[in-house]
């Protein structure tokens, strides 16, 4: 049974909640292990067409990796911890359906790295984001040095990592780190609205689109075009492509079967 991760599936949307509010949802080894199990289970649930990840309580999404747990780690243990986090965040990046992080309060260090392994991010106006690892004598260890650069560009990613400063939600929006900023009261409903819009589409084609668009940043233009045209042709083996185009031509709403 999972204690630190709550999960439920409703109307095609999986809600994952990191449930350690007393420690501002800091990520320790147990949270990461339960997260990995949760993702494994959700991956098998074919009704899931969008995932929302949030932190419990009203203060934090995730305030980072657990500093108490990390403090006395040997270099070998630190490597194992880093590998565990990288594996979980890679699973999220490559999860077969779109993922949305709802950032309520602090998203620091490993919390910011978790948010940027999701496809999209919605922040509440009290959100504070940053990568303060340098102030603790370490560097980001869950893929941040790779993904942050991809999301906000080299110079600004380096500024954030080199200074460790926290940024408010409006600056994160301006820098493209989050998709939008809403009030704390609206955060869940905005997340649900976005997830529902996605879940309404063809699940099978959405998975193809997610995979192709996620891989693009790592590929040359030539490789990117090649996987796009291969994936485009795969869409034509789905029932939903036939339904989508028939529905358009018959001037009706498509009824996707997600296959
Ligand atoms: N870890 C453990 N506990 C944490 C925590 C964290 N990251 N953040 C907060 N807490 C705990 C606090 O210790 C406190 O616990 P109690 O004292 O009540 O037992 C409780 O949460 C509430 O926190 P505060 O009392 O501090 O609350 P405030 O509102 O005053 O301040 C704060 C909120 C977010 C500004 C502050 O808590 C804070 O600065 N927290 C630390 C933020 C931080 O530095 N995050 C980055 C962590 S480092 C790697 C693998 C991974 C990583 C790096 C390398 N390798 C293995 C290579 C990743 C590193 C990080 O994420």
Summarize pLDDT for 149-186 with one digit per residue, the tens.
999 999 999 999 999 999 999 999 999 999 999 999 99
128: which residues sit within 8 A by CB, 6+ positions away? Answer: 105, 106, 107, 108, 166, 167, 168, 169
Low-confidence stretches of the chain (pLDDT < 50) are none
Q: Which residues surround ligand 1 with Cβ inside 6 Å?
A: 23-24, 26, 63-68, 78, 81-82, 85, 106, 108-110, 132-133, 136, 138, 140-142
CATH architecture of 5-199: Alpha-Beta Complex (3.90)
Say what the pLDDT of residue 178 is.
Answer: 98
- CA-nearest residue for atom 51, ligand 1, is 141
From the CA of 169, how far away is ligand 1's center (Å)? 19
* Distance from residue 63's CA to the centre of ligand 1 (Å): 5
Q: How far apart are CA 181 and CA 187, in angstroms?
A: 8
CA nearest ligand 1 atom 32, residue: 63
Give 14: exposed, middle or buried? Use CB within 10 Å, 0-12, 13-18, 19+. Answer: buried
Tell me, in angstroms, the distance from the centre of ligand 1 to residue 66's CA: 6
- Nearest atom (ligand 1) to Cα of 166: 35
Residue nearest to atom 11 of ligand 1 (CA): 23
**DSSP state at residue 141:** -
> 99 and 191 in contact (C-beta within 8 Å)?
no
Question: How many Cβ atoms are within 10 Å of 241's Cβ, its own excluded?
Answer: 17
pLDDT of 1: 60
- The residue written with tokens 């200074």 in the block is 163
CA 56 / ligand 1 centre spacing (Å): 15
Query: How do the domains of the chain map onto residue ranges?
Result: 5-199, 203-249
The pTM (predicted TM-score) of the whole model is 0.96
User: What integer pLDDT is reported at residue 2 of this predicted model?
Assistant: 75
Residue-level pLDDT at 130: 98
Determine the distance separating the centroid of ligand 1 and the alpha carbon of 93, expressed in angstroms: 24
Protein residue closest via CA to atom 4 of ligand 1: 23
Predicted confidence (pLDDT) per residue in 41-78, tens digit: 999 999 999 999 999 999 999 999 999 999 999 999 99
Nearest CA to ligand 1 atom 6: 66
The CATH fold assigned to 203-249 is Lyase 2-enoyl-coa Hydratase; Chain  A, domain 2 (1.10.12)
């Amino acid at each position: 049974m999972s204690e630190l991760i709550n999960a439920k599936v409703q109307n095609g949307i999986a809600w994952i909640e990191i449930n350690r509010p007393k420690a501002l949802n800091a990520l320790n080894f147990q949270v990461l292990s339960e997260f990995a199990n949760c993702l494994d289970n959700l991956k098998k649930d074919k009704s899931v067409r969008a995932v929302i990840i949030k932190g419990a309580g009203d203060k934090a999404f995730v305030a980072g990796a657990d500093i108490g747990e990390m403090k006395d780690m040997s270099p070998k243990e630190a490597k194992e911890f880093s590998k565990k986090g990288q594996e979980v965040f890679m699973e999220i990046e490559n999860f077969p359906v779109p993922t949305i992080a709802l950032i309520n309060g602090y998203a620091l260090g490993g919390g910011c790295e978790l948010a940027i392994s999701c496809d999209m991010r919605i922040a509440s106006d009290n959100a504070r984001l940053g990568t303060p690892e340098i102030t603790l004598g370490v560097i980001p260890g869950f893929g941040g040095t790779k993904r942050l650069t991809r999301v906000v560009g080299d110079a600004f990613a380096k500024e954030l990592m080199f200074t460790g400063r926290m940024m408010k939600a409006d600056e994160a929006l301006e820098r493209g780190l989050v998709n939008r900023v809403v009030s704390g009261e609206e955060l869940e409903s905005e997340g649900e609205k976005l997830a529902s819009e996605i879940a309404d589409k063809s699940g099978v084609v959405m998975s193809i689109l997610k995979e192709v668009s996620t891989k693009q940043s790592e590929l040359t233009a030539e490789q990117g075009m090649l996987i796009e045209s291969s994936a485009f042709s795969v869409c034509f083996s789905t029932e939903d492509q036939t339904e989508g185009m028939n529905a358009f031509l018959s001037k009706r709403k498509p009824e996707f079967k997600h296959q």
